[in-house]
Copies of this chain bind each other. A is one copy, B any other.
Amino acid sequence: MRILVTGGAGMLGRKLAERLARDGELGGERISRLVLADLATPGAPEGAGPEVAAVACDLAAPGVAEKLLADRPEVVFHLAAVVSGEAETDFEKGYRVNLDGTRLLLDAIRADPGYRPRLVFASSIAVFGAPFPDVIGDDFHTAPLTSYGTQKAIGELLVSDYSRRGFLDGVAIRLPTICVRPGGPNRAASGFFSSIIREPLSGQVALLPVADDVRHTHASPRAAVGFFLRAATVEEGALRERRCLTMPGVSATVGEQLEALRRVAGDGAVSLVRREPDELVARIVAGWPQRVDAGRARELGFRAETSFEEIVRVHVEDELGGRIP
């Protein structure tokens, strides 16, 4: 089995690639070749199994997708995207990468008759926009309040239509905020949800730009990788005509996040969180979903953590070698 991961240098792309290289198989099939593509050359993960190729390329440039697909990978993970904060500040770049890049990828698949890969599209719960019901059901409309959410919602529509027309076999997964993100901050408006846990766990100060009662839905990077693997292997028949799935997650307020941090790492860690309100971030986050039902995804076997404390402990295990410094 050949696999292509776009956005392979991003945090999730890297973790997905590491997992695929380590497992050496997907859905019981041996992985022979793993291609990682991104603007910057992705790092090649270690693993005895698959041949790994890392490609630096711009998916939004004509002809690039055709080259990446030349060996007809059976599974395409499409993660490449401009993140929410940047798509909001750079309108044209967001549309170019998130809409045009996605469409070029889908059209390159369509242009190859007889080739019909499973395509897993990384969507986001940013496709939803306020006002919200108490819990967002699987049939709630996509009325995004950011350009990023708009671009993801359009990507979902394209994946569904191209699948229905038989050009590919798509699954779009709406990721909740991924938390705790390792490494440095990125330009996602949701970055602080991670930094208020990650930095204190390393003895660093973290800034909190929103109020303690802000509620949001989270899943760990480990859970997200699990979503991608499940999306790659879920039976097409089980999806019926509805290929866009809201992923499960843990709904927690910022206050509840900090309480979980306190339980795992003590008062000292929590005292490192400094409140510094940021209106732009607060406004963007206020338009984001607080709770999702995700009943369909759960039925189809997608699993997330069950408490925010579990999310903190997953971070300690996966990123800090199991111990708090």
Pair A142/B144 contact, Cβ less than 8 Å: no
A133 to B139, CA, bound (A): 10
In the complex, identify which listed stretch (A39-47, A147-155, A187-195, A226-234) lies at the interface while the others stay far away: A147-155
Which residues of A from 127 to 167 have beta carbons under 8 Å from B? Answer: 129-130, 133, 139-145, 147, 150, 153-154, 157-158, 160-161, 164-165
Complex-state Cα separation, A145 to B243, whole angstroms:
12
Are A161 and B147 touching (Cβ within 8 A)? yes
Among B140, B164, B241, the residue within 8 A (CB) of A139 is: B140
Report the Cα distance A150→B242, complex, angstroms.
13
With beta carbons under 8 angstroms apart, the residue of B130, B154, B241 that contacts A157 is B154
Q: Is the CB of A144 within 8 A of B161?
A: yes
CB <8 Å contact, A165 and B147: yes
On chain B, the residues within 8 Å of A150 by CB distance are 157-158, 160-161
Contact partners of A143 in chain B: CB under 8 A: 160, 241-242, 244
Given A150-B160, A157-B144, A158-B150 in contact, is the A91-B242 Cβ separation under 8 Å? Answer: no
Copies of this protein chain in the complex:
2
CA distance A144 to B139 in the complex (A): 12
For the complex, what is the distance from the CA of A91 to the CA of B103, rounded to whole Å?
14
Task: List chain B residues, Cβ under 8 A from A158.
Answer: 150, 154
| CB 8 Å contact bits of A219-251 with B (1 = contact, 0 = none) | 000000000000000000000011010000000
Most buried by B among A129, A143, A147, A241: A143
Q: Which residues from chain B contact A165 at a C-beta distance below 8 Å?
A: 91, 147
What are the interface flags for A70-104 relative to B under an 8 Å C-beta threshold, 1 for contact and 0 otherwise?
00000000000000000000010000000000000
Give every chain B residue within 8 A of A133 (Cβ-Cβ): 139
User: Which residues of chain B are near A153, meaning CB under 8 Å?
Assistant: 157
Closest beta carbon of chain B to A98's beta carbon, Å = 11
Q: Knowing A91-B165, A142-B141, say if A241 contacts B129 (CB, 8 Å).
A: yes
Task: Tell me, in angstroms, the Cα distance from A145 to B91 when the chains sit together.
Answer: 29
A266 to chain B, nearest CB (A): 42
**Which residues in B have their C-beta under 8 angstroms from that of A130?**
241
Option from B139, B141, B154, B164 in Cβ contact (under 8 Å) with A154: B154
Tell me the nearest residue of chain B to A139, going by C-beta: B141
Kindly supply a per-residue 1/0 record for chain A positions 160-194, scoring 1 wherever the CB is within 8 Å of any chain B CB and 0 otherwise: 11001100000000000000000000000000000
In contact, A141 and B141 (Cβ under 8 angstroms): yes
What B residues does A161 contact at CB under 8 A?
Answer: 144, 147, 150
B-chain residues with CB within 8 Å of residue A140 when the two chains form the complex: 139, 141
Complex CA gap A153/B150 in Å reads 11
A156 to chain B, nearest CB (A): 9
Closest beta carbon of chain B to A73's beta carbon, Å: 23
What is the distance, in angstroms, from A131's C-beta to the closest C-beta of chain B? 8
B141 contacts A241, CB within 8 Å? no
* Smallest CB-CB A-B distances: 3 pairs: A150-B161, A141-B141, A150-B157
8 contacts between A and B (CB under 8 A): A139-B140, A139-B141, A141-B142, A143-B160, A144-B157, A150-B157, A150-B158, A150-B160
Q: With A141-B141, A145-B241, A154-B157 given, name 20 new contacts (CB 8 A).
A: A91-B165, A129-B241, A130-B241, A139-B140, A139-B141, A140-B141, A141-B142, A142-B157, A143-B160, A143-B241, A143-B244, A144-B160, A144-B161, A147-B161, A150-B158, A150-B160, A150-B161, A154-B154, A154-B158, A157-B157
